[in-house]
Structure 1
Amino acid sequence: MHDVVIAGAGPVGLLLACELGLTGCDVLVLEQDTGATPWQAMPLGMRGLSAASVEVFHRRGLLRQLVNASGADAYPADHDGHPDPDPRVAPAPRSVAHFAGMMLNPADIDADALPYRLPSPVPEGVMTSLESVETVLAEQAAAVGVRIHRGTRVSALRQGPESVTVQAGDREYQGRWLVGCDGGRSTVRRLAGFEFSGTGPQFTGYTMLATVADPDVLQPGFTLTPTGMYLQMPTPGHIGMLDCDGGAFDRTRQPTVQHLQEVLRRVSGTDVTLDDVQLVSTFTDRAMQATSYRQGRVLLAGDAAHIHSPLGAQGLNTGIGDAVNLGWKLAATVHGHAPDDLLDTYTQERHPVGAGILDWTRAQSAVMKPGPHAQALQALVRDVLGTRDGTTYVYNRTSGASTRYDLDSTHPLVGRNAPDFHFTDGTRLSDLMHRGNGVAVDFTAGRRLAGAPACRQDRIRYVAGRARNELGCGALLVRPDGVVAWADGLDPDRDAFARAAARWFGSATAWSPTG
């Protein structure tokens, strides 16, 4: 019997497998596809990773591999042999995307208004591809002992009190837990009986690789028009477009060159000509979400738990957040040291994030809809996005910087992604998290937390020392997913720390500051 069976070897399933494998869980991944497709490689597989997602790879020591696999010119400067940035000032982000096709100026982001940022060598975003992400994660999964069976489609499952049995092909596989990471049309979600509800589509979207006779008649980048939106990417012939037809064309029939040309002419307002179409896919802005991410011993993550339009590039990033939130909690449950309600916090924390993303994409669909009411709304939104506050707000939402879990604490850091504290010995907080452990940071250099009841060192790594900027903290506890679970001021309460450690990491023992 496996500890965990995962259906789906996309980025979410592979990242979850890596998180579990780091802790020594026996993990099996079942994937119906046998290999990569053109939709995973550049240019069609291009994806943007948000600041929060980039931090996930950084904390696991995988960012260098990802950047290199993505074809970037160089890995971003780090603290090995490079000048350190000013410890007091975090630089403004250099890039920000769009809202409903309306581009934002990164120079308008108010860096001082971004919550608890510190200078970091890590970029605030990475352009990559599904192929690159999956390659890096598959290599990491193999390194931590995860097995991946490809060409194996899940067709049935049954739950028992202590396990889940999965039928895939002509074999049965048994796991103590099953996680569906098998996409928007999730078989696991359907077979396990999850309730999936939401709203219907407003548009049909198209992504294609075509030969355009006269590409210069189309504007580069995103262009929002009175009849829809189109996107001309830098790669010749890589075009996206949105036709506000209520989703009528999506998957009802194969788009012809003539149909695609008609749609592109309508939404662009040009007489553009398509000579040929090599690849095309359709999608909609249907927004649906599982009411719970757990049914007994079956859980969902990524698109299996929530689907929405790709506007704002939120799908992959939300799935990455699901995987790192679930991974350490499920691992602790498998190993038997999780608090009783730890696994329930997965739905409690991630469901509101997913619901917020669905509303974020619904708002963009409403703004793009043809007609005088949407045109008036567009004018209003453009005015707001032209302000410093408006641009900063959108960046906060799309980067993950505004995500904060309700962990029943008034401390402003608790529930947020931990800043990458830079210790005076040159170490960064992220350096201490490569093995998927939590970290207890004692900025009092061991005077306060040393000897406190806490968890075993294989669950929480303890560091006592000073940082170049401590943000007014005396101590903090960081979960394996990078979220601050507890923080206190310059005279931290050792008993409060011990309670927080037991709350998130289980049974308590005494430790010394040398672990």
Structure 2
Amino acid sequence: MTEEVLSTPVAIVGAGPVGLSLALDLAWRGIDALVLEKEDGHVTHPRAGFVSVRTMELFRRWGIAQAVRESGFPDDFALSIEFCTSLAGHTLARDEYPALAAMPLPEWSPEKKQRCPQHWLDPVLKAALRDCGRGALRVETRVDGFEQDEECVLVRATDLRRNAPLTIRAGYLVGCDGAGSTIRTGLGIDMEGRGHLNYSMSVLFSCPGLLEQCGKQAAERFLLIGPEGTWGNVTVIDGRDVWRLTVYGTASKFDMDAFDARAWVLRALGTDRIAFDVVSILPWKRAELVAGSYGQGRVLLAGDAVHTMSPTGGMGMNTGLGDVADLGWKLQAMTEGWGGPALLPAYTQERKPVAVRNAAYSTHNYKTWVSPPRCDYLLEETERAAAARREIGAQMKRATQYEWQSWGLQMGYRYDESPLCVADGTPPVPDEYSRYVQTARPGARAPHVWLEPGRSTLDLFGKGFALLAFGDAAMAETASFARAADRRGVPLAVHRIESGQAAEAYGAPLVLVRPDGHVAWRGTGGRDAARIVDIARGAR
């Protein structure tokens, strides 16, 4: 059988949300990518569901935010949190949060968070990739190995449908192939951190009319607390019939032969009078791990291939989408020839601290979830049990608000120590998980300000660098940046900004914003324009 040989600027291994998003980002930048997926591409047990505000900003950039919002989750479903003994049992406390339709836009973003389970999100990403006319997806294609040199990466694969060998010659290879990444293993990169917090079991079940039958108001999540403490949670999937029960385990793996999924769902429901169907079960290991490096040479890694974290907080996929935003423009720069030798190494320097931060936060949340002490009489119909339920509920509500309102964590990550950003000597804003303060300090996400109805400053960023000029004197200084960028082949768009609110938010007459929307430099003049452009493109 003749071996098939393909060529592509970028090969991506793994067609989950991170791999598909990277292919879409590259396509949006005019770069073709080939996505290789060993499975058939269908999601049978959706895990990711929470789409953060920052991720929705990326979807806005790619033109798919509306499609994600309209993917199917009802916008009138309240996203509250309830602490209970079971869905038909005692309510210990509720933390009320509005439905998406009633949720106002935050003052610091043109987007708001969304719920979109992976079996809805992946098709949106695939459709966008198909419609843009760039890039391709090959399912049932297993990557067996790779070799790289100074010119390219040769990827050895197998077309599983034909049981035929396949070779891909790629300019760059990106492993988005999950926690057990074969690409990371092939590079010999180790994971660092806490590799084993516990084993858990995810049970997907269908139960039409669950809330009505249990007499419950809508909630995004029900935390289940028994005499032994918190033992699991039920999370909404589609806002209608499908739910996910997560059973917290121990240091030992579940015995799959002995695990009775129906019995666990019955315990979560608290009654045997409600009909339901178990759709699928998935065992998994909770960990707090980050890769020592995010790549070597022409082979890079993103998503769960470089960071695994407890899902408590919903930061796993969203951290991976942050990797995509950081890596996509760097691959564009290297492919088009305007990126310098320091550009790709900066990917690890920028993204690894973010993953360490998010993983630690997620572990903290998990510990909070399982913090209630044992209370053997919790389920009694006695006054002492009722008092214990009230006390535990109040404690849990206070402790977990840190998670449900983590705006600083979602939006406030920054690249203070990046070699691609020019420090301006100003003090950083506080790095608080629950509070986000916009700043244009170099390394930070550039602030959102409405320039006119429907048009944000964020809409100016993405395809290349953006130089914002506030006032006539600043505009006169932009020519030196334009010349420096043009001589180096760096895409640069100059924008004169008349908004006084934007001028105040950005804090300097001139602000250079990177393609990923982070500030590279801000100042008053263009005397050092060539040096600044070189730093921002990794040439110094």
Give the aligned residue type for 2:479.
Answer: G
SS of residue paired to 2:70: helix
Amino acid in the other structure paired with 1:2? T
**1:484 maps to which residue?**
519
Specify the alignment match of 1:241 in structure 2.
Answer: 246
The whole-number CA distance in structure 2 between the counterparts of 1:304 and 1:164 is 19
For structure 1, list consecutive stretches of 5 or more residues without a partner in the other structure. 75-93, 108-116, 509-515
- Which residue number corresponds to residue 3 of structure 2? none
Deviation at 1:426, TM superposition (A): 7.6
Distance 1:338 1:190, change over 3 A: same
Match of 1:205 in 2: 201
Aligned residue number for residue 434 of structure 2 = none
Percent of counterpart pairs with the same letter?
A: 27
For 1:320-399, list aligned pairs within 5 A: 320-369=321-370, 372=373, 382-383=397-398, 390=402, 394-397=406-409
Task: State the distance in 2 between where 1:359 and 1:28 align.
Answer: 33
Decide whether the 8 Å contact of 1:213 with 1:274 is kept in 2.
no
Matches of residues 2-401 of structure 1 in structure 2 within 5 Å?
Answer: 2-39=8-45, 44=46, 47-70=49-72, 118=107, 120=109, 122-142=110-130, 143-169=132-158, 170-199=165-194, 200-210=196-206, 216=213, 221-225=221-225, 226-231=229-234, 233=236, 234-236=239-241, 238-249=243-254, 253=256, 259-264=260-265, 276-369=277-370, 372=373, 382-383=397-398, 390=402, 394-397=406-409, 400-401=410-411
Cα 1:381–1:394 shift into 2, 3 Å: farther
Between the aligned partners of 1:47 and 1:460, the Cα distance in structure 2 is: 36
Checking the alignment, whether the CA contact within 8 Å between 1:218 and 1:232 is kept in structure 2 is: no
Shift of 1:467: 1.9
Letter in 2 for 1:476: V
Q: Which residue of 1 aligns with 2:537?
A: 505
Q: CA 1:95–1:500 in structure 2 vs 1: closer, same or farther (change >3 Å)?
A: farther
The verdict on how the C-alpha distance between 1:469 and 1:104 changes in structure 2, with shifts beyond 3 A counting, is farther
The one-letter amino acid of 1:208's match is L
Aligned to 1:91: none
Q: In 2 relative to 1, CA 139–273 (structure 1 residues): closer, same or farther, beyond 3 Å?
A: closer
Q: Which is worse superposed, 349-358 or 213-222?
A: 213-222
Residue in structure 2 matched with residue 469 of structure 1 by the alignment: 501
The letter of the residue matching 1:158 is: E
CA displacement at 1:320 relative to structure 2: 0.5
Task: Report the CA distance shift for 1:210/1:425 in structure 2 as closer, same or farther (over 3 A).
Answer: closer
Q: Is the 8 A contact 2:262 2:278 kept in 1?
A: no
CA distance in 1, matches of 2:403, 2:230: 25
Q: What SS does structure 1 have at the residue aligned with 2:413?
A: coil
Residue type at the aligned position of 1:421: V
The alignment partner of 2:150 has SS state of coil
2:412 is aligned with what amino acid? S
CA pair 381-352 structure 1, distance change in 2 beyond 3 A: farther
Q: 1:260 to 1:426 in 2, by over 3 A?
A: closer
Alignment of 1:411-426 (within 5 A): 411=426, 412-413=439-440, 414-423=442-451
In 2, Cα distance between the equivalents of 1:473 and 1:118? 21
Superposed counterparts of 1:398-413, under 5 Å: 400-406=410-416, 407=418, 408-411=423-426, 412-413=439-440
Supply the AA of the counterpart residue of 1:8: G
SS at match of 1:494: coil
> Aligned letter for 2:153?
V
Distance change (3 Å), C-alpha of 1:372 and 1:188: same
Question: Which deviations, in whole Å up to 9, do the C-alpha atoms of 1:37-70 show, x marking residues without a partner?
Answer: 333xxxx466121111111112233322332344
Per the TM alignment, residue 371 of structure 1 is displaced from its structure 2 partner at its CA by 6.7
CA shift in 2, pair 1:269/1:203, >3 Å: farther
Structure number with the bigger relative contact order (C-alpha 8 A, sep ≥ 6) is 1
Instruction: Give the drift of 1:360.
Output: 1.5
What residue is the counterpart of 1:444 in the other structure?
471
Q: Return the offset for 1:496.
A: 4.9
**Residues 404, 98 of structure 1: CA spacing in aligned structure 2 closer, same or farther, 3 A cutoff?**
farther
- Residues 424 and 276 (structure 1), Cα distance of their counterparts in 2 relative to 1, 3 Å cut: closer
Does the CA contact (< 8 Å) of 1:264 and 1:272 recur in 2? Answer: no
Shift of 1:190: 1.8
Residues 377 and 355 (structure 1 numbering): CA distance in 2 closer, same or farther, change over 3 Å? farther
8 A contact 2:326–2:516 mirrored in 1: yes
Contact preservation (8 Å) 1:367, 1:377: no
Aligned pairs, number:
462
Deviations 1:192-224 (A, max 9, x none): 222123320324132311459987559653224
Deviation at 1:482, TM superposition (A): 1.1
SS in 2 for 1:452: helix
Counterparts of 1:72 and 1:359 in 2: how far apart (Å)? 32
Pick closer, same or farther for the CA change 1:152–1:5 going to 2, 3 Å. same
Contact 1:206 1:240 in 2 (8 A): yes
CA separation in 1, counterparts of 2:210 and 2:112?
35
Q: Please give the per-residue CA displacement for 1:336-358, whole angstroms capped at 9, x wherever unaligned.
A: 21122111111111111111122
- Would the aligned equivalents of 1:204 and 1:246 in 2 still touch at CA under 8 Å? no
Letter in 2 for 1:403: Y
Q: Distance in 2 between matches of 1:191 and 1:204?
A: 28
Deviation, 1:437, is 1.8
How big is the shift at 1:409? Answer: 4.0
CA distance in 1, matches of 2:494, 2:297: 34
Distance in structure 1 (CA, Å) of the matches to 2:398 and 2:479: 56
**Inter-partner Cα distance in structure 1 for 2:319 and 2:464:** 22
1:439 and 1:463 in contact (8 A); partners too:
yes
Whether the 8 Å CA contact 2:365–2:400 is kept in 1: the answer is no
SS at structure 2 position matched to 1:430: helix
Equivalent position amino acid for 2:407 in 1: Y
* Paired residue secondary structure (2:479): coil
Q: Matched residues in 2 for 1:303 and 1:102: separation?
A: 34
- The whole-number CA distance in structure 2 between the counterparts of 1:426 and 1:69 is 21
Indicate the residue corresponding to 2:380 in structure 1: none
Question: What does residue 527 of structure 2 align with?
Answer: 495
Q: Is 1:460 aligned to 2:472, yes or no?
A: no
CA distance in 1, matches of 2:22, 2:210: 45
User: Matches of 2:411 and 2:93 in 1, distance apart?
Assistant: 21
Displacement of 1:247 in angstroms is: 4.9
Q: TM-score, normalised by structure 2?
A: 0.75
2:372–2:392 CA contact under 8 A, matched in 1 = no
CA contact (8 A) 1:12 1:323 kept: yes
Cα 1:264–1:65 change in 2 (3 A) is closer
Letter in 2 for 1:248: K
Per-residue CA deviations over 1:75-99 (Å, capped at 9, x if unaligned) read xxxxxxxxxxxxxxxxxxx978799
Aligned-residue offset at 1:317? 0.5
CA distance in 2, matches of 1:150, 1:213: 36
Question: Which one is further off, 206-215 or 439-448?
Answer: 206-215
Q: In 2, are the aligned partners of 1:208 and 1:277 still within 8 Å (CA)?
A: yes
TM-score (norm 1): 0.78
